[in-house]
Every structure is written in structure tokens, then in C-alpha cells.
Structure 1
Amino acid sequence: MPQPDAGQIAGAASRLSQCRTRGELGRAIAEEAGRFSLYDLQRIGGGIRREVEALPEPYRSRVRPYFEEQIFGAYHRLMCSHRSGAFARMDDPIPDPEHFSAFVALIPRGCLDRKGSQTDIGFSKPLHTLFYYLVTGYTIFVEGGPGHPVGTPFPGGFAVERRGNEYYCPIRDKEEDVPFSICNVCPARQMEGV
């Protein structure tokens, strides 16, 4: 039996797959993200807070602002760029077409296959997971940044780093067996020695 949000999720993924430039993609993501109500955003924020509150201190306090930045900082930048018309000036191709195709392909299953998707971050609905993929797709394929913001701490004392024009992540290659993880399409490289 199809899930109630399956059509909207499949439609969003199909729409993104048709984009060829960073500007087209930014505009499409902004329009899809603009469909979320204030109530949806509050529920998504609540899911993130619940997830963070389950973490032990002092890690909880260190990671909280990065989780919020990853979702709502990206959403704010996305909507500001859309409203300012910035996407009209972005006519360069979407970087890394192979990873972009893989990203678009993982959206429907990552949102709807709830068994062990490990992408939820406490999200209660498949559409909330879609929001996660939308803002992460914006960060990676329009802005050209890593899926997790620079500075995001991970257990063991390591954090996402920027060195020149390259990004390094302590968990990049460790997520390969998590099929719906954004790490599988992230431009960051695996941090050496971790």
C-alpha cells in the first residue's frame, strides 16, 4: 500500500533530477522547501532537539548548534538566495553529476523505507526526511559544501574541517554501508588517520 506522502516525495525527486545547472537546482529546491508550513518546520526542529537531547554531555552541547545550522542555517541561506534572485545568475553545471544522480535516487527510498534508514534525526514523517534531503542537497550541490557544517564535532574529538578548497570529515568513509546516508554523496574526503 503506497504511503500518503510518496507522490510528493517522488515528484520532488523527479523535479530535481531534471535540473542541469546550480541555479535551476537551487530554484527547484527552494520551491519544494517552500511547501513546508511553519508547523512542519516546528516539528522538524522538535525532532532535531529530541535527537540531540538523547546525546551525552558534553558532546550534546558541542554538537547542538551544528545540527541546527545543518538544517535551519541551510534553509535560511536557501530561501534568502531564492528571494534575492541569486539562482538566476548560477548557470554553471551541477558539480559531480554521478554523485548528484545517486543523491536524487536515494531520496524516495531514504524517505519512505523507514526500516533502518538512519537518516531521520528524529523526524516523524517521510516529508520531514524529504526536507532534510532538500536542504542537504542545497548545501552540497548548489553551495558546494559538505553535508555536515565545517566544525561539526564527532565522538573521539574529531570535527569536519576545511583545508583550502577541500573538506575533510572523520566519518566520510565509515557511512558507506548506511544506504541512505548523505555521506555517500558528500564532497568531503575521509580525514586521514581516523
Structure 2
Amino acid sequence: MTDPERSKIESIVARMAGAAHKGDLGTIVAEEILKYSVLELQVIGGRLNLEIEQLPAHYRHKIRSYFRDQIFGAHHMLLSRYRKGIFLKCSDPFRDPELFLSYCQMIPDGCMAWDEDTWKNPEIWSPKHRLFYYLIAAYTMFVEDLPGHPVGMPFPGGQVVEKQGEEYYCPIRDKEKDVFFSICNFCPARQTD
């Protein structure tokens, strides 16, 4: 028996994987993001806030705005560019087409890999909400060629995501190799020395 949520996610991912260039992908991601209701966006924001609140206080205050920017700042930029027709004029190739396809292949399993029963309200959280995160990251990393985590985002130990010239550096870029569903494995940033 096939899980209907997984089938829907696989269909969306197949559409993404068929994108010929960055403009196609930007359009596809924006069209999928526009299908999320205000309630679903509130649930996603609420979950993000809950995860932030569980962090140690000294770190929570430093990172809060970066997490929100990573998700909702990118959401705003994506929809703004879509509505302005920018993606229709863009036929730039993907920086690394094979990496992009690997990312697409990971998404369905990544959406299903979480045990949501540990969350306070598992009945209102679904793999579709996790897909939102992967859609936003696809836009950020493969359309904009930006790191998955915003520049300036701090990590425990004091290091931050940095831009040096045209290159991005992240202190955790290569630290997530064992977590198959981590966006870090597909990020255009290089590992900070």
C-alpha cells in the first residue's frame, strides 16, 4: 500500500527534478509554495519557534532571526521574484546538476524520516510541512546559489556562515555527512577551515 502523502511528495519532487534550469525550478518551487494555506504557514512558523525556544537561552537569542530568515525571508524573496516574473527571464544552468538531482532524490525519504509523535501536536504536523523546508532550501541553494543557512548565522563554538569574495564558508558544512536528509550535504558553501 502506498502512502498518499509520500506519493504526493514524490510527484512534486519529480516535477522539480524535471526543471531544465534555475528559472524553471524557481517557478516550480513558487507554485508549490503557493499551495500552502495560511494555517499551514502558521503551523510551520509555530514549529520553528518551538524548536528555537528549546535551544539554550544564550544561543537562542543569537540565532532566532537567522532561522526565521532562512525559512521565511527566503519564502518572501521566492514569491516576490515569482510575482515579478524574474524566473520567466532566467535560463541559467544549475551550478551542479548532478547534486541537484541527488537533492531531489533525497527529499521523499527526508520528509518521512522524522518521528513527529514526540512533538507537542503531532496531529497537525505532516511530511508536507517538512517538504516546505526542502522546497525553500531548493530555491535558496539551487536557484540563488546561496548557502542553506544565511550568511552570519552563528553556530555553537562561535563560528558563523561567512562570505569571502564569491565563496561561502560554513563551520558545519561537512559535519552532517551521516545525516542523509540534511541540507548541508547539498549546500554550495565550503567547509570552514
Per the normalisation by structure 1, the TM-score is 0.93
Which residue of 2 is the match for residue 80 of structure 1? Answer: 80
Cα shift readout 1:114-133 (whole Å, capped 9, x = no counterpart): 259xxxxx993100110000
Counterpart-to-counterpart distance in 1, 2:164 and 2:115: 36
Offset from partner CA, 1:57-108 (integer Å, 9 cap, x none): 2100110001000000001000000000000111111221121011100110
Matches within 5 A, 1:118-129: 124-129=125-130
The answer for the alignment partner of 2:27 in structure 1 is 27
| Alpha-carbon offset, residue 113 of structure 1 | 2.6
Hey, what does 1:60 align to over in structure 2? 60
Listed one character per residue, the Cα deviations across residues 9-55 of structure 1 (whole Å, up to 9, x for unaligned) are: 11110000000111000000000111100000000000000000000
The one-letter amino acid of 1:124's match is: W
Secondary structure at 2:147 match in 1: coil
Whichever residue aligns with residue 154 of structure 2, its letter is: P
Q: How does 1:5-44 map to 2 (within 5 A)?
A: 5-44=5-44
Is structure 2 residue 125 aligned with structure 1 residue 109?
no
The amino acid of 2:126's aligned partner reads: K
Give unpaired runs (5+ residues) of structure 2: 117-121
1:62 and 1:4 mapped to 2: Cα distance?
39
Please list, as runs of the form range in 1=range in 2, the aligned pairs for 1:148-159 lying within 5 A after superposition: 148-159=149-160
Partners of 2:4 and 2:60 lie apart in 1 by 34
Deviation at 1:154?
0.3
- Cross-structure match for 2:165: 164
SS of structure 1 residue aligned to 2:57:
coil
Q: Counterpart of 2:44 in structure 1: which amino acid?
A: I
2:183 matched to which residue of 1?
A: 182
One-letter amino acid of the counterpart of residue 104, structure 1: C
**What is the CA deviation profile of residues 148-174 of structure 1, one whole-angstrom value per residue up to 9, with x for unaligned ones?**
000111000011000011000000011
CA-based RMSD of the aligned residues comes to 1.5
Q: 1:119 matched to which residue of 2?
A: none
- 1:162 is paired with a residue whose SS is strand
Q: What percentage of aligned pairs have identical amino acids?
A: 50
